Amino acid sequence: MGGLRDGVLYFQRCRWCHTSVFRCLLCPVCGSTEMATERSDGIGVILQVTIVGRSVGRPRAMAIIDMREGFRLRARVSAEPLQRAQVGAQVRLGFGPRPQEIAFQLCHS
């Protein structure tokens, strides 16, 4: 399965049509269940971003990230100030407050 293991992000690629997905058991394109796990280089671009947690005084940016390998995932993006986490910004896998949380940071920060 895809996910974060020892600081490395893994995803699945369909053995038949090579579509890459994150945490899917079934290829969304051809329906195959033969998914190979591959290692991501952890670089992507923010496709959509929402600031959450403002009401509790702990705002954070949650983004949909379009990864270089072609899959998308939802993760937290650290930025200072948070407004710098914008659509189109390049991000790389970083470290979140909790080790198992997938978190990204801006490439140029």
Residues in touch with Zn ion (CB under 5 A): 14, 16-17, 19, 27, 29-30, 32
CB of 37 to Zn ion, least distance (A): 15
83: CB partners within 8 A, 6+ apart: none
CB of 63 to Zn ion, least distance (A): 26
Cα 16 to Cα 22, 35, 69, distances in angstroms: 16, 9, 16
The residue (of 5 and 18) whose beta carbon lies closer to Zn ion is 18
Please say whether the beta carbons of 106 and 79 come within 8 A. yes
- Which residue is listed with tokens 């659509």? 87
Amino acid sitting at position 22: F
The residue (of 14 and 75) whose beta carbon lies closer to Zn ion is 14
The residue (of 30 and 107) whose beta carbon lies closer to Zn ion is 30
CB of 47 to Zn ion, least distance (A): 22
